[in-house]
Amino acid sequence: MRVAMAQINATVGDFAGNSAKILSQIETAAAARVQLLVFPELALCGYPPEDLLHAPAFIDDCARALRLVAAEVGEMVVIVGTVVGQADLYNAAAVIQHGRVRHIYRKIHLPNYGVFDERRYFQPGAHVPVYTLNDIPFAVTVCEDLWQPAGPWADATLGGRARLLVNLSASPYHLGKRARREELFAVRAYENRVPVAFVNLVGGQDELVFDGGSAFFGADGRVLARAASFAEELLVVDLDDQQTLGAQHRARPGQVARAGALTLEAATLDSGAAADPLPPLPAPSVTEPLAPLEELYQALVLGVRDYVAKNGFGGVLIGLSGGIDSALTAAIAVEALGRAQVTGVTMPSRHNSAATRDDARLLADNLEIEFFSLPIEPVTDAFEQALSPLFGAAPRDVTEENLQARARGTLLMALSNKRHRLVLAAGNKSESAVGYCTLYGDMVGGFAPLKDVYKTTVFELARHVNERAGRALIPTSTIERPPSAELREDQRDEDALCPYPVLDAILTDYLEEDRRPSAIAKAHGIDSALVGRIVGLVEQNEYKRRQGAIGPKVTPRAFGKERRFPMTHRWTNDRVPEND
């Protein structure tokens, strides 16, 4: 049997566009004489549709789109992720053949952690039916179903009933996720002696990035075919005797089939191919995984590209300070959108050094982007003059520093309105975590490409950009210069915080691993008072992060949907337990 996995970039609510992509892949697969074609989870309506699912018209449109797609399907069996139901909604897989939906599989395990909130919308299914095509029994699962070590899907493989497991996924990206996913599916294949066909969504959806990487696993757990990451692709494989018909199916030790746990419903589908033998395929495509920095870079590029394109922005504006964050943001934007859609604006004050001014212009020249200079002294002078009757003789402090940042934010937003371009905020995760940023100043913008990227990783990515380009696209001096907000003379970030490698070690343990401050200090040999101060800053600045732009999630635990803490609370995580 010839199986294909259609890794497509769907957009939430774009039923016409998503249907067109699905029909195009059906046509391509038919030309390749595919017999079983599988699309990702909720491919028809896009993932995640969130509270659009509360609108009856949205559900009606999804049902209408499914009927229109089904009408174009011939003898090939096509499985499409969709929403079904009215009063009770289900995250489902529609099994289509001969112009109609032959059966509906309903997702059983609904994730409700991290970025997932599926129990808010869907009811769980209960059974995994086994279908038969070309005398090969196969079972369908949706994403989280196959992450579970046992359950109805496992029952479906007992006694040799299912000889292929199909999994439709919309698995969001974070660095390292692909390897973890492949290890899990390899275990599922090996333990049950059954091949696994995994198809994943690709594309950006608000702060989520879906990385694709669809794959086919043999019954021995080996990856026999793998699609590219961060790109649409049709991955086609032939199931031979070694992979399917000759596989020895066995239960794991202690596993017993549960009576009544499996319902054999729409069991037999028509043959998905003509009687004559299929022409042989070339060797299966096994795309090599990307190196970690390139993987991360491509995720950020795709997140920017899809957010800008899918929301209809004509281009982007970036405030270029001559620093590393704005430089990397601009490089990512040019890779994502092309230089014609990127405008850089430098807004110097008397505190900006000649070196950073020169680097801002050099970066713009290297990237070949539109570039403007708007000095902010007249604006900040006007602000200070207006406020002087109220400030009186109070000494200069952070107030005047923040006025500079807010003047820049005002100028950028005015240009955004007039030129119809989205402002990209250049802040990173380290600075956002501890509140080293100015509300309505450097935080302004509609999208923040580096929001989930630690400062030490920003440096690594900047060097990677230059390695990819084969030249210093980002000026070397920008990378090597000690970071500074340049809001007062001789200012350095490390003076207000601590060295970024130390800061990021603390933040990674606290944010990603939920480790206590005392344990962090002990593990890294860091002064406990410093750890306590950094953790305190994280908790104090939740109110700032709530008002910041969204950005692509690329770590296991991003700010926003994945880390929701109250702004007002009096609990502290500095208690030292007896065993610490």
What is the structure's pLDDT at 89? Answer: 95
Known catalytic membership, residue 143: yes
Lowest mean pLDDT segment, chosen from 169-178, 218-227, 553-562 = 553-562
Give the integer Cα–Cα distance in Å for 567 and 158: 50
Q: Is 193 strand, coil or helix? A: coil
What is the structure's pLDDT at 565? Answer: 81
**Cβ-count burial 502-529 (b if 16+ within 10 Å, e if not):** bbbbbbbbbbeeebbbbbbbeeeebeee
Where residue 159 falls among pLDDT bands split at 50, 70, 90? low
Cα–chain center distance at 210: 5
Q: Is the pLDDT of residue 574 over 70?
A: no
Give the integer Cα–Cα distance in Å for 569 and 74: 59
Q: Is the pLDDT of residue 579 over 60?
A: no
- Count of Cβ atoms closer than 10 Å to residue 194 Cβ: 28
Average pLDDT over residues 213-242: 91
Look at the chain and count its residues: 580
**Cβ-count burial 131-160 (b if 16+ within 10 Å, e if not):** bbbbebbbbbbbbbbbbeeebbbbbbbbee
Could you tell me the domains of the chain?
Answer: 2-238 (3.60.110.10), 292-492 (3.40.50.620)
What is the structure's pLDDT at 256? Answer: 27
Average pLDDT over residues 179-194: 92
Q: Which of 21, 45, 62, 143 does the annotation list as catalytic?
A: 143
What is the structure's pLDDT at 261? Answer: 28
Give the integer Cα–Cα distance in Å for 356 and 80: 52
Q: Which of 45, 62, 107, 207 does the annotation list as catalytic?
A: 107
Q: Is 514 strand, coil or helix? A: coil
Give the integer Cα–Cα distance in Å for 64 and 56: 12
What is the structure's pLDDT at 365? Answer: 96
Torsion region of 122: left, alpha or beta (phi above 0 gives left; psi -120 to 50 gives alpha): beta
Note the pTM of the prediction, 2 decimals.
Answer: 0.91
For 427-450, how does the pLDDT look when each residue is reduced to its tens digit (9 = 90+)? Answer: 999 999 999 999 999 999 999 999
DSSP letter string, 108-145 = -----STT--GGGT--------EEEETTEEEEEEETHH
For 532-571, how does the pLDDT look when each residue is reduced to its tens digit (9 = 90+)? Answer: 999 999 999 999 999 999 999 999 989 888 787 888 877 7
Look-up of token digits 């196969």: 138
Q: Is the pLDDT of residue 513 over 50?
A: yes
For 269-280, how does the pLDDT look when each residue is reduced to its tens digit (9 = 90+)? Answer: 666 554 467 777
Q: Which of 41, 118, 233, 335 does the annotation list as catalytic?
A: 41
Q: Is 255 strand, coil or helix? A: coil
Q: Is the pLDDT of residue 250 over 50?
A: no
Q: Residue 470, exposed/middle/buried by CB under 10 A (0-12, 13-18, 19+)?
A: exposed
Average pLDDT over residues 259-276: 46
Give the integer Cα–Cα distance in Å for 172 and 38: 19
Where residue 241 falls among pLDDT bands split at 50, 70, 90? low
**Cβ-count burial 204-236 (b if 16+ within 10 Å, e if not):** bbbbbbbbbbbbbbbbebebbbbbbbbbebbbb
